[in-house]
Chains A and B, each alone.
Chain A
Amino acid sequence: MFSSGSKYLLGLSGLSLVAAVVYAFTVNPSDLGAIAILGLMVVVGFVAGIGLHDRSGDVATVEEAVAASAPAPRDSAWPMVFALGAALTLLGLATVPVVFLLGIVAMVAGGSEWIIGNWADRASVDPVFNNDRVRARAIGPLEYPGAAAVSLGIIAYLFSRVMLHAPKSAGALLFILFATAIVTVGFLVGYRPRFRGPVLAAVLSVGALVLVGAGVTTGILGEREQLAEASREDFYSAEHRECGEEEGKHFDHHANNKVNLRSAVLATVFVKDGKVYAEAIGLKDKLDTITVQRANNTNIMFRNLDEKEHRMVIHLGEAKVGDTGAVEKVETCTQLTGQDQEQVLTVNIPKPSAAFKDGYSITVPGAEGEVKVVVP
């Protein structure tokens, strides 16, 4: 009743169930990881069920099995992959997580291939039969999707290197060319039988070489200058820290100068004749203090009435830097804004002013005064 193949698949399914239970108890039951492992269990269990039903997992007919003598396993490179994976795993423990993950992947892939190949090689004396009928049936359902995922990952990574290096304006064109090439090859494969075989292999090889060459070259050359500037200016951090008087090459590039949310603005901060003040709905005087509701998304508009370009900076107290014990000031700011132009910052301040000795405030580098922000 149970063939070797179905035994293997049932075992894998059972192992997945155990792994899912262990994962759920030790990590997080509602985590995607547990769902993925349970998914593996269901899929493998389903395939095992099909194997049991039509006995397609049989390694051979009775006659074939009888004809087979005890064969010696073929030479295999997978043990080396497994060993490399083990080495990378150990290395990753001491260095960076990505090396550790690569090691795990290599160990799982190399180990699986090694075990299945070894098992298949003992099926008969015929290496072709062992490889095509036994090994391919057992590992094929995992090998092909895995290889496809790895290939797609490599293609995406190489193409992303090209896109990060190419000028922004060329991005759309490159995407169109890439997509057109894929569709054209697909069309030719579907409708021109002569295109298959050696011709297709040649085209794919050339395409792969071009992509690898372009990806490696652009990867070495690095990102385009605009992106490099953004990284240098810490543009991608939640609290942008380049809030000084000077102009940021990336941060202040193509500044927004008009906003369209008058009805949702709590207060407007002005700079005029080099001095800072605020106005708020319903209050007629120029203000040096504004009140902001705590834990609420609040829009504050900045309007520059001076000739010189200015930016508004909101000082939001202090925050600990990770587990280092160090404390740094938290601030956020608008882009440099020209005369009669305006920008809006949305802030959410969860703690009352009393949480920090200096409270919260708004300043404009290069201009006098500040607007106190009181969070009651």
Chain B
Amino acid sequence: MERTDSPVAHRANTRRAVVAAALGVFLAGCATNAPQDVFQPKGPNADKINNLQLIVFPLAGIVGIIVLALATYIFLKFRDKGQEIPSQAHGKPVVEITLTIVPALILAIVGVFTFRSVFDLAETADTEMVINVTGQQWWWEYDYPAQEKYGINTPIITSGQLVLPVGTKVLLRETSRDVIHSYWIPALNGKKDAVPGRINILRIEADKPGIYAGQCTEFCGLSHANMRMEAVALSKEDFAKWVANQQAAYKKPAAGTKAAEGETVFMNQCIRCHQVNGMKRDDGTPVIAAADENVYAGAAPNLSHLMTRNTFAGAMFDLLSEDCRDDVWEAKPEEFGAKYLAGVSAECLNETNLRAWLRNAPGVKPMYSDPAKLGPTGGKYRGMPNLNLTEDDIDKLVAYLLTLK
């Protein structure tokens, strides 16, 4: 038997490790359940990027292989074996001209396709719908300006999930309330930075109904990795239903129910930051959140119709239990709309996630919300603090939040 610490065995082990690593990398490219795969476009804008990739990547790959092969050949062939240093000659015009012209030609070819794609992606003249996208630590807010064509008479506001009609050229007007973020739904288009004080535009369009995952791609602080987003594409009919529901008036929970008690807890605790449109006090005055007084970014997610979304806390957690979530995510395009519009029922609610969040939000998502360390932000939170709610309060709040559909 060969000794494992012999040089031969060591080389064999190294070879096996290299092969295993290369095989792993190769197989990773075959994953089918990769929702952020840039090679699986689901809309015309992402298609344009993919088509460009199909030209640029093979060219870059061939050039890379040639360069590496030549470098390896030269490394092995001319390595120092004690031979004399060859005579040194200055210049070789044929080689120099060839090595200038060939890369220039390759770059020119790549440049033509790249510029064409860049200008195509920047086209906005035929925009059909506008949605404002605002980033802040560590969640995305979406608001829909009034657009009669889509039945949006009163601006809609939501967060976590961007809902859009399929086959519609949607223009995102992006900005940020605090630091630079970057919006990226790989299946629908490339990245676009959201910069405070500026409005950057990005066009997206989805071919089929479904959910498309994304991720903030500009480092933006402690929970950057947890700043996710999802784009939900609905058929035009389903989108109209979604719009109608988002504009529906607030329904106060029936008196005497646990949900009604939850509304009181909400008014005492959550309203300091979270707005629920249409909520009123007993005297009829509207209840207005004061996020600008408590949160560094000046805003917290508007929770109107919360249970029509599938996620919360910057799309980090599912509101749906695993089975119900899979049921929506894996639905056929023709069934997707109905399943998504059903929202979150009591049976499908992922209570574990929601209760953990209500119990101690910074315990499950890193945020700057320690009351003793708010000096740099003038006493304002970045993220949700631990409200020290009792289990009884959490029960009531869960019952109330379930009514926000």
Contacts and interface: CB of A to CB of B under 8 A. Distances in A.
Interface of A: 30, 263-266, 280-284, 289-291, 293-297, 299, 348, 350-352, 354-355, 374, 376
Contacts of A289: 145-146
Contact of A295 (B144, B155, B298, B375): B298
A293 B141 contact: yes
Contacts of B143: 291, 293, 376
Interface centre among B129, B156, B199 (most CB of A within 10 A): B199
Contact of B199 (A263, A354, A355): A263
Given A295-B291, A355-B286, A282 B298 contact: no
Interface residues of B, number: 38
A370 to B, nearest CB: 15
B288 A352 contact: yes
A264 B199 contact: yes
Interface string B286-314: 10110110000111001000000000000
Nearest to B147: A283
A267 to B, nearest CB: 9
Contact of A355 (B132, B157, B175, B288): B288
Contacts, number: 87
Contacts of A30: 375
Contacts of B362: none
B171 A351 contact: no
Contact of B201 (A282, A299, A376): A282
Nearest to A351: B288
Contact of B130 (A263, A282, A294, A355): A282
Contacts of A282: 124, 127, 129-130, 171, 173, 201
10 contacts: A265-B199, A266-B173, A281-B201, A283-B130, A283-B147, A293-B134, A293-B175, A296-B175, A355-B286, A374-B145
A147 B195 CA distance: 51
Given A293-B143, A299-B197, A350-B292, 10 more contacts: A30-B375, A264-B198, A265-B199, A281-B173, A282-B201, A290-B145, A294-B298, A296-B298, A296-B299, A374-B145
A280 B143 CA distance: 14
B155 A376 contact: yes
Nearest to B201: A281
A209 to B, nearest CB: 49
B194 to A, nearest CB: 11
Nearest to A349: B292
A376 B291 contact: no
Contacts of A297: 196-197
Interface of B: 124, 127, 129-130, 132, 134, 141, 143-147, 154-157, 171, 173, 175, 177, 196-201, 275, 277, 286, 288-289, 291-292, 297-299, 302, 375
B176 to A, nearest CB: 8
Nearest to A265: B199
B189 to A, nearest CB: 15
Nearest to B153: A289
A32 to B, nearest CB: 15
Contacts of A295: 177, 291-292, 297-299
B123 to A, nearest CB: 12
A290 to B, nearest CB: 7
B199 A281 contact: yes
Given A282-B130, A374-B155, A376-B143, A264 B197 contact: yes
Contacts of B277: 352, 354, 376
A268 B362 CA distance: 41
B199 A266 contact: yes
Contacts of A294: 292, 298-299
Nearest to A294: B299
B134 A296 contact: yes
Contact of A291 (B132, B201, B288): B132
A296 B291 CA distance: 12
A264 B195 CA distance: 10
Contacts of A280: 130, 145
Contacts of A293: 132, 134, 141, 143, 175, 177, 299
A170 B84 CA distance: 80
A222 B159 CA distance: 56
Nearest 6 Cβ contacts at the A-B interface:
A295-B298, A350-B292, A291-B145, A376-B157, A282-B171, A282-B130
Nearest to B146: A289
B394 to A, nearest CB: 27
A295 B143 CA distance: 13
Contact of B155 (A263, A291, A351): A291
A352 B173 CA distance: 19
A354 B291 CA distance: 14
Contacts of A264: 197-199
Nearest to B126: A284
Contacts of B127: 282, 284
Nearest to A346: B197
Contacts of A354: 277, 286, 288
Contacts of A283: 130, 145, 147
Contacts of B286: 354-355
A286 B146 CA distance: 12
Contacts of A374: 145-146, 154-155
A354 B132 CA distance: 19
Contacts of B171: 281-282
Contacts of A284: 127
A1 B61 CA distance: 85
Contacts of B129: 282
Contacts of B144: 291
Nearest to B173: A281
A354 B154 CA distance: 12
A294 B155 CA distance: 12
B192 to A, nearest CB: 13
B302 A376 contact: yes
B157 A350 contact: no
Contacts of A265: 199
A278 to B, nearest CB: 11
Contacts of B198: 263-264
A21 B130 CA distance: 58
A327 to B, nearest CB: 14
